[in-house]
Structure 1
Amino acid sequence: MAESPGRYDVPPPGAIAWLDVSAENPDTWSGRLRTGPLGLQIAPMRNARAAYFFKGARLRGTRCVWSASTVSSTELYRPARAAVPAPFDSNVQLLARIDAEGSVFDPAGPAPAALRVHDPADEITEQFAGNGHLFTLSVPHAVIGLEAPAIKAMADRTYGLSPFQQQLLRSAAGLLVAGGEEFESAASLVGVDRYLAGLAGLLLRTAVSRPGPDLAHVESIRLRTDAIIFEQAADPELTPAIIAAQLNISLRQLYRAFTGTESPASRIRRRRLERAAEILAARSGPGHVERVAVECGFASAEYFSRAFRREFGLSPRAYRSAHRDSAGARTPG
C-alpha cells in the first residue's frame, strides 16, 4: 500500500482520506488525541507490549462514510453525545472488529470477529491490545431498508461475524486502495451511497439472531464464563477469546450465549471495576491509582479512570477518599 499523507478530517464527498497515527510516524502524532472514524479518539495504550498504530483510510459518499483500518496497542473512545430526537432516527453506525494479524488490506482467512450497532449519540470504547482490523460504517437509517425499531433492538448486543460477513467487509476495504478518481461525478457518489447502504443492510440482516442451543447449554456457558471471569479478571491477558478457548467453544458460540444480555467483554470490565472499588475502599489497599489499575487487569490507567468514573460516578481517587473519610467518621475518637 502506498504511503500517503496523514489526514484526520472527514473527506469531502467522493474523496478517500488516509489515516496514519503511529509511533513510526511522529509527523502525524503530537501526543494529543486524534479523531478517527465515527468521531473516535485515538490514543496509545499505556504499558502496551507492541508499538501502537492506527493506519487505514475512509471513503465518503454524499451521506455514507466507510472506513477500514489496521490497529494495534490503541485505545479508541467516543464520549456520549447529546441525544438525537429519537434513537436511530438519523444515522446508523456499525463498528466491526476482526482480531487478525497483518494489514486490513491484505487477504486473510476467517478470524474471531464481532459487530456492534451504535446510535450516533452512543458512547463507544474499544481497545486493541494486539493487532486487529477495524471497520466502521455510518449510514442514514432511511436508506438501509430496515425499520428503526428493528435496528434499535440490535443495539447493545455483540454479534459474531461469520466468514461470509468478514469477506463482505474485506471486499469493501478493497475500494479504498483502488483509488477514488471514479467517484468525482454526482452519479458515482449516488452509487457509492447505494453500495455502502446495501453493505450495511446485508450485515444487519445476516446478523439477526438465529435459533441457538438449548437454554440449559446456554446457561452452562454463562455460569462457567462468570466463574472464569471472577477468578481471572485480574489477568490483563484475559479476553473473550481466551475464555472461549478455556471452555473449548468458538468465540462465536460464546457471544451467542450472551445474546440479549451483557457481553463477555463487558462482564470482564465490570468485574475488574468491582475489584478496583473493593481495593480503593479498603484502608490497607495500595495508594496509587496506577497500581490499582495494574492489579485489577487494566493495561491503561487513563482507560481505568474513565471506566471507573462512568461506573461509579466518581474518579478512583475521589472514591477512595470518600470511603476513607466515611470509615474515619465511624471510628470512635
Structure 2
Amino acid sequence: MKIGQPTLPAPILTPIIKPWISALVTDKVKLSELVTKYDSPINIYNKSEFHHNIQTFQNLANELELDLGVFFARKANKSKTFVTEAKAAGIGVDTASYQEVKDCLDEGLPADQIVLTAAIKNRKLLSFAVQNEVLIVLDNRDELDLLAQVCDEQNKSCRVALRISGFLFEDARPTRFGFVMEEAYELLTQDFIEKEAYSPFQFQGFHFHINGYSIKERSTALTQAIQLSDQLQEKDIEVKFIDIGGGFLINYLEHKSEWEAFHEQLIKSVSKKAEPITFQNDPLGMLYHQGEIIGKPKVYPYYNECAKDVFLRKIVESNFDGETKIFEALKSRGIQLRIEPGRSLLDQSGITVAEVVFRK
C-alpha cells in the first residue's frame, strides 16, 4: 500500500436474520448436541418459513384474482423435506433430473403437480416422465423427435409444453434456449397437426427463461407470449398456461446505505485508492484500466426493495396493450400464470451448521 493511501474500515453488511435463526445460533449447547448426534455439517430447516414464502405469492394472486400455479424449483435445494412441504401446501415442483422426478413421485406428489424442465433430457428421463404422466417442457426438435419415439414405444400420449425464446426487447433477444416464437407457431399450427409421429403430444402451454433480474424484460416476454397465444387461438389451439420460470429477487440485507457504501469502497479499493476489501482485491466483474473503472460488479443484488411477491407484482401489473395490464389480459383469456421460484421460497427456511475442525 502506498504512503498516503487511506485506510478505510471494512464495510459492514448486516444480514436479515429471522428470530428463530438468531435464537438457534446463540444456543451453543443445543448446537453442540445436534452436531454430536448427527455429525457435522448438518442442515436445519424451519418449514413454516417455506410455507410463509409460498403464501406471499398466493396472497398476491388472491388479491388480483389471478390463476397462479406455483412450482418449487427443486434444483435450489435437494432435500426431500421441501418436496413433502410442497405437497402439503398444494403447490407443484419443477424438476430438472431423473432423480428429482423420482423423489417427487416417491413422496406421493401427484403427476399433475410435477413439471420436467431439465435442460438435457435423455431417453431414460423422457421414458420415465411419459410412463408416469409428467408434463414435459421441450426445448428443441431433437427432444421432440426422441419423445415421439418414446411415446410410440410405450403406446402412450403425453402432456407437453414448449419453451419459447426470441422475444424482442429493445432490438435484443435476451433468452438463451427454446424455440423461437415464430418456430413455435409453425410447430403447433403445422407439424403437431400434420406429423403423425407428434399425434401423442397434448400441448398445454408455454415456458420461458429470462437471464438476470430485469422486470421489464420479463413483462415484455410475457406480453409477447400472450400475443402468441392469441394467434394460436385464432387457429383453435388453446394455451392453458404461460410459465415465466423463476429468478424472483430476495432481499438479504437490512440497510440500503451499507450496500451502497460497500460498492463505493469496492471501487476505491479496485482503483488502488484504498486497501482491498475482497480476496486478492477481486474486482467482482469490473475492470481497472488506465486509471478508470470499466463495468459494474457482477454480483447478486443482495439489497433490493423489489423482492419476491413485489417483484412478481411489478411484472403482472405492467402494461399489456395500453388499456389493460398483464394480469387482466391473462384473466380475460383464461390463461394460468405459472412461476418456478426456488431460492425465494427457501428464504430464511434453513441454515447449515458446521463444526470448525482447525484454524490455519
Q: TM-score, normalised by structure 1?
A: 0.23
Rg bigger for which structure?
2
**Larger strand percent:** 1
Q: TM-score, normalised by structure 2?
A: 0.22
